[in-house]
Amino acid sequence: MLLYLVPCLAAFFLVNVLMPLAKKLAWKTDLLDIPVGRKGHDRPMPLSGGLAMFAGAAITIVFFAGVQKLVAVLIMGGAVLIGIGCVDDRFKAKRREFPVLPKLTVQLLVAAFAYLMDIRFRGMSLSWLGGDPGQYYAFAPWISFLATVLWIVGLINMVNFLDGVDGLAAGVTTFSAIALFIIAYGKGQSLTALLAVVLVGATLAFLRFNFYPAQLFMGDAGSTFLGFALAIISLEGAMKGATLISLVVTVLALGLPVMDTLQVMISRLLAGSPMYQADRRHVHHRLMSRGFSAKQTVVLLYLISFLFSVFSLLLFRFIP
């Protein structure tokens, strides 16, 4: 396991080097988040942190793993999401809202691309439903496609929704990626473990610049890339066991984004609000409305994310 420290530290170092360059780029191109409306900051903030994270992670992965199918899916899909995310962030910089449909269309296309490259849900063991040991139900292609697309698009948006307080999305991604790394390492999935540990290094480097008080933001470009990376890593790692426990383990490893999205969806449904309309129903908004500071909110949610990850690893370790 110690060997994986090398790519982790390489990603950490490279993203650290790229982050100030990304910050300068944002100021030169006016790629800035202007504090209006629901914004929690009081000065313009560079929106280029996601570019540095993606570039650092991609270079590190290619250096250590070469160009393999899983690497190609992560980098090509991530690059497309970074592109549409930058367009969205550019709209924010001009104090305009980017339409939802183009973003969702790109996310669906990226998820479909992953499916076509055989990164997908394939089936489920029936032993936990009382079936014979080894009995397996292979999903029909349309079920496999639908489940894969929903998982990838769902996680992309879950992480994006969570990116509302300094350090929150990157920190939660770090905890989830550590859990996914340990699971992949335990299952002997060396490439998936490498991707997860590089993601850990990249997000930890970003946190040096983004933890409260932040120097820059990751933007939609960064948050959608992180969500896509977690989705791809989990599909090829923890989820590959095709059992109920592997599904539960994965959901718990990604527990905070999943929990936050579910409670927001239920809240909006009960209130009759559109699902796509931004509001202050996310868990970090609720905590801050009850008097928690931004830093207290993030630390508390880190603790919750850590506990989700620990519970996930305990299930993985002790339940076959």
pLDDT for res 37: 53
pTM recorded for the entire structure: 0.91
Give first-to-last CA distance, the chain, whole Å: 22
Of 62-76, 96-110, 247-261, give the lowest mean pLDDT range: 247-261
Question: CB under 8 Å to 94, separation ≥6 — which residues?
Answer: none
**Residue whose pair of structure tokens reads 């029936």 in the numeric block:** 126
Answer whether 280's CB lies under 8 Å from 268's CB.
no
- Pairing assessment for the beta strands 123-125 and 32-33 based on DSSP bridges: unpaired
- What share of the chain has pLDDT > 90, as a percent? 53
CA 216 vs CA 4, 181, 225, 308: distances in Å: 28, 27, 17, 28
In which region does residue 219 sit, left (phi positive, over 0), alpha (psi from -120 to 50) or beta (all else)? left
pLDDT for res 127: 55
pLDDT for res 265: 76
Structural domain for 264, as ranges: 2-318
Q: What are the backbone dihedrals phi and psi of residue 82, each rounded to the nearest 5 degrees, phi first?
A: -60, -40
pLDDT for res 199: 98
Helix (H, G, I), strand (E, B) or coil at 136: strand
Q: Domain count of the chain? A: 1
| 113 has pLDDT over 60 | yes
| 130 has pLDDT over 60 | no
| 39 has pLDDT over 60 | no
What tokens does 305 get? 């994310």
Q: What whole-number distance in Å separates Cα of residue 208 and Cα of residue 51?
A: 15
Say if residue 44 is preceded by a cis peptide, omega within 30 of 0.
no
Q: What whole-number distance in Å separates Cα of residue 312 and Cα of residue 248?
A: 8
- Nearest CA among 43, 108, 259, 241 for reference residue 172: 259
| 223 has pLDDT over 60 | yes
How many CB atoms lie under 10 A from the CB of residue 151? 20
CA 147 vs CA 92, 153, 163: distances in Å: 32, 10, 25
